[in-house]
Amino acid sequence: LKMSWLWLYLPLHLLTATSLCHSIKAPTTSSQQSFKTNLFNFYHSLILADGKETTVHLLKDIPKRYYFALEEGRVLAPFSITVTPCDVPIEWSILVYKSPPGFPGKATPGDHDTQEVSKSQKAPSMVSTIFNYKGNSVETYMGMSSHSALYLLEFLSTERDTHITVYLTTDTTSGHLYPELPTDPRIDVIGIGPTTVTLTWKHSPSALQHQESIQYCLLVNEKHNYKSLCAAETATRSSGMKLPPTLALSLSPYLLEPQQVMILSNSELSIINKASSGEVRQVCMGTRNTYTVPHLSPSTQYYFDVFIVNLLTNASAAYTGTFARTLEEPEPKVTELKDGKVIHVVLDGKKQKVYSLQYQARHKKIHFTFQLCWGQIRVHITRNGKTVASENLSGLRYLSLKGKLLDTYVVQLRSTEESNSSVKVQASPHFHKPLFPLLPESLKIKSFSKLRTCRSVTIAWLGTQEESKYCVYRKRIEEDQIWGELQSADRCSGPESRHKSEKVLCKYFYDLNLQRAVTTETIKGLEAGTFYLFDVYLFGPSGIPVRYHSKVVKTRKKC
């Protein structure tokens, strides 16, 4: 069965209207609108392409018509029409113009007489509506024609300007443009958490047969399900995402090109593969039919749509959408913080887990101490539900807060980076008996380049006015280990984590004059041209150590 450009089949009243345009008098005010509408509709009656997906742009309240003709080639001529609304509901219908008796499809001189035209217009049996639909679902009409006929498709949008796609085919034996859905096209929710939802769906027969050119795409949003990928792309466009050039089609009402076929190249498929906005989140996962959607908000309803997409033609078919509500986020476990007790907290940065500590004050003034071991952590402190402190931690941090007896403090700790973080926390009403030692102005270790030799290195560090114990450790490392050693250093760990052979010495030191509270040490017995990692540990009255910032020094190669 072939398509035919049978202009002789066009409704004779339209052909006559155009031939008489110059002889028609200027329309009256009452008939002017009707005249313009009929003329407009004729020029927008286009031939619909066979075997291609055509994009049709509709202006509000202005119908648009497409024709296609079927020739008599065998007893029954099958055809199908699929219409996909890409935004708002539309109205569309199929009308058929059948050849009247004595008019088998060939023109005769008498057929062009205006009287015969008038007669054919009065014969209601020659034009019939065989299908009509109103809505925003993807609809397919399957028909059979046993004789030559001219078909008219009429589309109308009454809500706003929009666009649709139309696919006509008269070849029902050599495959389909659209991927095939399984017998059961539902999406099943098999797992729900506070921030994740796990979905599964049955495989499309197309995905099993053509894995290289077929993939599943999932859409997630908080508003509603989408009945087509075309509608979802329209929603993504409206959210402000830039479109590939081939999708930025003109909406001119005088666009007469009948074959606006939306075919995307692989690079332009980013509209499907990489689209992501606050309104619609999209991800494609090849031919996997199970997927866990991450990074959702707790206690929120989400709508999920799965589309099977033909990457060669951009044609798609929609599974039956579903929805699910994520679970409420469980209240974080609260650990009681007791006077003077140190709690070591390790946070998982990937999960952004919050760790909560609760402390009930038995004094008006409370002192919190935080020692950041590694990573980056933000602390948030509330008193009786009201925020009293919130900041990022660095090194050793003291916070003194004044309130009332029996005030309840809640300390929340959160990692601010993807890697793990760790911190030690202490609460105490006795600031004059701190658990951590008094710290110098800087915890940096300085080395003296002029005092470096092939066998020794001289380092210096600041002390305090309080007599404290300082222990020096060294470790031989390779050049490619320097960055890793400095990044992974645990500032809370003490000498117990070091090998005994790394210990150099321990000594006591203090000076009431802070400007003179500096001590130096020359470490001997080193190898020439070698990198060494030096650490200094400060011990206070409680015995809890504070680690200075590690220092890497290379001995001279030649002396």
Residue extents of the structural domains in the chain: 7-169, 187-325, 334-428, 446-554
Considering all CA atoms of the chain, what is the largest pairwise distance in Å, rounded to the nearest integer?
124
Q: Does residue 299 come out as left (phi exceeding 0), alpha (psi in the -120 to 50 range) or beta?
A: left
Checking if the pLDDT of 107 tops 50, the result is no
Q: Is 446-554 the same fold as 187-325?
A: yes
Span of 37-41, 86-90, 122-126, 411-415 with lowest mean pLDDT: 37-41
Under 8 Å between Cβ of 436 and 377: no
- Res. 35 pLDDT band, cuts 50 70 90: very low
> How many Cα atoms sit within 13 Å of 153 on the Cβ side?
24
User: Tokens in use for 480?
Assistant: 């490619």
The sign of the dihedral angle between the CA atoms of 224, 84, 198, 286 is negative
Q: Report whether pLDDT(155) > 60.
A: yes
Give the Cα separation of 498 and 534 in Å (integer).
12
CATH topology of domain 7-169: Jelly Rolls (2.60.120)
Q: What is the pLDDT of residue 178?
A: 82
Q: Which residue has the higher pLDDT, 313 or 68?
A: 68
Instruction: Give, as one character, the DSSP assignment of residue 392.
Output: E
Angle in degrees, 0-180, between the axes of helices 12-19 and 114-121, rounded to the nearest 10: 140
State yes or no: pLDDT of 312 exceeds 60: yes
CB 334 within 8 A of CB 454: no
- The pLDDT-based confidence of 352 (bands split at 50, 70, 90) is low
Q: Give the pLDDT band (50/70/90) at residue 146.
A: low
Highest-pLDDT range among 131-140, 480-489, 499-508: 499-508
CA angle 338–344–348, rounded 5-degree value: 130
Q: What is the pLDDT of residues 437-452, one digit of tens each?
A: 888 989 999 999 999 9
CA dist 399 and 388 (Å) reads 10
Q: For 288-297, 342-351, 421-430, which range has the lowest pLDDT when averaged over its residues?
A: 342-351
- Average pLDDT value for residue range 380-400: 91
pLDDT (0 to 100) of residue 24: 32
Q: Which of 16-25, 66-75, 357-366, 419-428 has the highest mean pLDDT?
A: 357-366
Return mean pLDDT, the chain. 78
CATH number of 446-554: 2.60.40.10
Say which range, 108-117, 195-204, 321-330, 350-359, has the weakest mean pLDDT: 108-117
Residue with tokens 């069965």: 1
Fold for the domain defined by 187-325: Immunoglobulin-like (2.60.40)
Query: What pLDDT shows up at residue 394?
Result: 80
% the chain with pLDDT above 90: 42
CATH code for residues 334-428: 2.60.120.510
Q: Please determine, for residue 434, whether its predicted confidence score (pLDDT) is greater than 70.
A: no
Query: What is the pLDDT at residue 116?
Result: 41
**pLDDT of 158 strictly over 50:** yes
C-alpha to C-alpha distance for 53 and 167, rounded to whole angstroms: 5
Q: What is the C-alpha to C-alpha distance for residues 284 and 449, in angstroms, rounded to an integer?
A: 57
Q: How confident is the model at residue 238, as a pLDDT?
A: 65
pLDDT of residue 347: 86
Q: What is the mean pLDDT of residues 217-239?
A: 84
Using CA atoms, how far apart are residues 164 and 249, in angstroms rounded to an integer? Answer: 12
Q: Please check whether residue 350 is in contact with residue 418, taking contact to mean a CB–CB distance below 8 angstroms.
A: yes
pLDDT, position 108: 37
Q: Cα dihedral sign for 344, 349, 355, 361?
A: positive
∠187-192-193 over CA atoms, to 5°? 150
Mean pLDDT of 175-196: 89
Residues 241, 453: Cα–Cα separation, whole Å: 62
Q: What is the pLDDT of residues 234-289, one digit of tens each?
A: 877 765 544 333 233 322 232 333 333 333 333 333 333 333 444 678 889 888 99
Give all strands of the β-sheet with 187-192 in edge-to-edge order. Answer: 187-192, 197-201, 290-293
Percent of the chain with pLDDT strictly greater than 70: 75
Least confident of 6-20, 51-65, 141-155, 505-519: 6-20
